[in-house]
Structure 1
Amino acid sequence: MNLIFRLVLGIVVGIMLGQWAPDSLIRALLTFKVLFGELLEYSIPLIILFFIMSGIARLERSSGRLLVLTIALAYASTTLAGLMSAIVGVELVPHIVHHGQLPASQIVVLLPYFTLDIPPLTDVSTALVTAFLFGIGISATAHEGMRNLADGGRDIVEWFIAKALIPALPFYIAGLFCEMTVAGTVANTLKSFGMILVLALALHWLWLTLLYVTSGMSTGRAPVQALRHMLPAYFTAAGTMSSAATIPVTVRQCRMNHISPSVASFAIPLLATIHMCGSAITLTICAIGVMLVTPGLPAPDVITLLPFIAALGVTIIAAPGSPGGAAMTSVGVLQTLLGFDAAAVGLMMALYLAQDSFGTACNVAGDGALVQWIDRFAEAEQDRQRYR
């Protein structure tokens, strides 16, 4: 919640500087914005490489048909939630946001004092393929040295995100909104993005309703009662902005829904890592908004967004456990499949982090619906083994 406050403060300060600050101070802030953008571009392949490689390697620690079912349900829920968000967003967001309302990147109002080119070690596609190759290889061979390397690299990159990128993000956002204020587009942008966030929250609850109704109908549990039991976990996740920190509460509330303790203890920690339905909804709806306001990006349509949603369901599995982790991990997909540049990524981060707590809460509440199917499958497996 402190991060959200700092982001809002960054927006306010950026607008004030854009209106009243001298050109020298604005240029200094723009210089920081450009340097931060270069640093972000450099770190993206490292985030993809180590987090996805480590995330895939970790899935080997549990095995069996129950694991396969859990992963399949999590991926299906994440991608279908993103698809729903894309369908609704393509229809509604153009009525909220005017296409190309931000100034084109080629139009420079004020120049930074200097720029610094920091090329990444590899491109995003190479990092993604390498992460999958080594992650699957580590899982198959159980190579402890490579697993330690992947986990160690992940820890270093997560430390860099937590200590450098996230703390500096409010200053970067201040630079973006300062530039928009100078260009005269900030008022329309804030109004449009506020309505997009309200739409994202409505889609969260629509997806949770669909999940609990369908799981209740197929497992014989009352959907309203099951969702009501998960509300403490929902609000805990909203307050902590962490699925992992909410695991004890989620497990307790699942047991109130008569989920087997062994199933809850197995499925909930795994779903906290790989089930990102709320994050997928928000990332998709925010991506549509950013594509519409940014000149040079194509107008979004469902067909264009399908590869993005399919890849998003895989990449955010390895999202770091810090605020904005899902958005950080998705940056590579945004760049390669939707053509986002550093400015578009910055807007995306600001939008996503403004509602990160509610997206996390949707992820956690959705776990309570998926675990009902997993529990029913586990019971069927036990019956099948008993009568063999």
Structure 2
Amino acid sequence: MKKTKIGLVPKLIIAIVLGIVFGQLDVLPAIILQIPITISSLFSSLLSFIIPLMIIGYVIVGIADLTQGAGKLLGATTLISYGSTLVGGVIAYTIASIVFPMFITPELSQKVTESGEGLAALFTIPLEPMLDVTSAIVFAFLFGIGISWLRGQNKGETIYHFFSDFSAIITRILNTLVIPGLPIYIFGNFVNLSYTGSIQSILSVFWRVFLVVLALQLIGVLALFVIAGIYRKEKPWQFIKNQVPGYITALGTQSSAATIPVNIEIARKNGVSRQIREFVVPLCATIHLYGSITTVISCVTAVLIMYDMPYDFQLMMGFILILGIAMVAAPGAPGGAIMSALPFLTVVGISATGPIATLLISLYLTQDSFGTAANVSGDNAIALMVDKIYHTKILKEKNWVPTRGKPINSEVL
């Protein structure tokens, strides 16, 4: 009999529910509840140790890869993708800062921050990271740019392959240790949140947050297609209709990579040339993260309001700018964009291994499929724009004038 494999999201939901239930069981002695809390504490120390290595492994290779390729075409694709990601972050913060205080009241914030003290771990193991997060970021960006420059001089392949293999090792560690351990980690933390009595207030907030996030994602994707249609002087509604299978595929697979073949076929139907669709769609699957940043910024803003922490525009803009770069340069982190964002939460005053970060991981991963669907849908809108840029340049060079209002031949050149 074939065994049914339970996915990560169902495991996380089960861990959250069980954590809430166990935390409310007054019949259990405190020492029993402290066992999963101790495991979570040990896992948190391990995660703290791995985070700087994640930055080094992903950011160096990400920057080195992004600066190699088809010159201006790569630059245009990256610029549009990064711009879309940043705009998504800014809009998410703006809406969140206006709407969320309507239901995250001062009374609720006070209830969360003044909830009972949680249980302590039975024991801890001192495991200090080899580098702090700031040092790892600076090291990664300097070396990434340096290796990119060397590769431009036909050098540096040895050190590039070293960090590429290092990145593969980090991916292996995350896939075999960190990601499978997340449900246990989250279970222990939700036991503590439930024990303190703050979980009810938190859950009463986040179902509303997710409704706002989903609306922002859908509106953003529609806006990208409308912009692409106006730029190409074509009707965007057919593009939106064509994208439905890609959106559904991303919802089901929770993977941008798994949706690439479907997205390429959709791009072909949209009239995007073969050269562009086979270049832009796979690239955007890793560098365009409109849906993901919308969720991350919305959730971060919500918890900052909830815990009565600063969330002013200047602070959040710095976080959005850094997060936009980090998510573009570090797309390989399993578990979605939240794993790439984790090391940079300290920018807004959130510990990368504390209970708030754990809450963010849980909330993000339970709706990750919607963010992924928004990401990949926007990829095809970007492909339409880049295709127009590409062909307009070529047509201008060859003195060709396309028929107004008609899509460019998808197989030209």
For the aligned pair, the TM-score class normalised by the smaller chain equals over 0.9
Q: CA deviation at 1:377?
A: 0.5
| Cross-structure match for 2:215 | 202
Q: CA deviation at 1:274?
A: 0.5
Amino acid at match of 2:117: V
| Cross-structure match for 1:306 | 317
Amino acid at match of 1:62: G
Distance 1:125 1:336 in 2: 10
Distance 1:321 1:122 in 2: 21
In the TM superposition, what whole-angstrom CA distance separates every residue of 1:43-68 from its partner, at most 9, and x where no partner exists?
A: 11111111011111112441311111
Question: In the alignment, does 2:393 pair up with 1:381?
Answer: yes
Deviates more, 1:195-204 or 1:319-328: 319-328
Distance 2:71 2:81 in 1: 16
In the TM superposition, what whole-angstrom CA distance separates every residue of 1:297-347 from its partner, at most 9, and x where no partner exists?
A: x23233321011111111011344465231111112112344335211111
| Cross-structure match for 1:318 | 329
Q: Secondary structure at the match of 2:256?
A: coil
Distance 1:280 1:121 in 2: 29
| Cross-structure match for 2:227 | 214
| Cross-structure match for 1:52 | 59
| Cross-structure match for 1:283 | 296
Question: In the alignment, does 2:157 pair up with 1:147?
Answer: no
Distance 1:317 1:129 in 2: 16
Distance 2:78 2:289 in 1: 11
Distance 1:123 1:72 in 2: 30
Q: CA deviation at 1:182?
A: 1.3
Question: In the alignment, does 2:30 pair up with 1:23?
Answer: yes
| Cross-structure match for 1:127 | 136
Question: In the alignment, does 2:14 pair up with 1:9?
Answer: yes
Amino acid at match of 1:349: I
* TM-score normalised over the length of structure 1: 0.95
The structure with the larger Rg is 2
Q: CA deviation at 1:147?
A: 1.1
| Cross-structure match for 1:114 | 123
Q: Would you identify which runs of 4 or more consecutive aligned residues in structure 1 move more than 4 Å?
A: 320-323
Aligned pair partner of 2:109 in 83, 92, 99: 99
Aligned pair partner of 1:73 in 68, 80, 99: 80
* TM-score normalised over the length of structure 2: 0.89
Deviates more, 1:328-337 or 1:356-365: 328-337
Distance 1:48 1:336 in 2: 15
Do the aligned partners of 1:100 and 1:292 also contact (CA within 8 Å) in 2?
no
Q: Secondary structure at the match of 1:114?
A: coil
Distance 2:72 2:241 in 1: 30
Aligned pair count reads 385
Deviates more, 1:92-101 or 1:73-82: 92-101
Q: CA RMSD in A?
A: 1.8
Distance 1:52 1:282 in 2: 21
Question: In the alignment, does 2:262 pair up with 1:253?
Answer: no
Structure 2: which 5+ residue stretches go unaligned? 1-5, 401-413
Aligned pair partner of 1:237 in 217, 227, 250: 250
Distance 2:258 2:55 in 1: 23
Q: Secondary structure at the match of 1:221?
A: coil
Q: CA deviation at 1:104?
A: 6.1
Do the aligned partners of 1:124 and 1:336 also contact (CA within 8 Å) in 2?
no
Q: CA deviation at 1:190?
A: 1.3
Structure 1: which 5+ residue stretches go unaligned? none
Taking only the aligned residue pairs, the percentage that are identical comes to 34
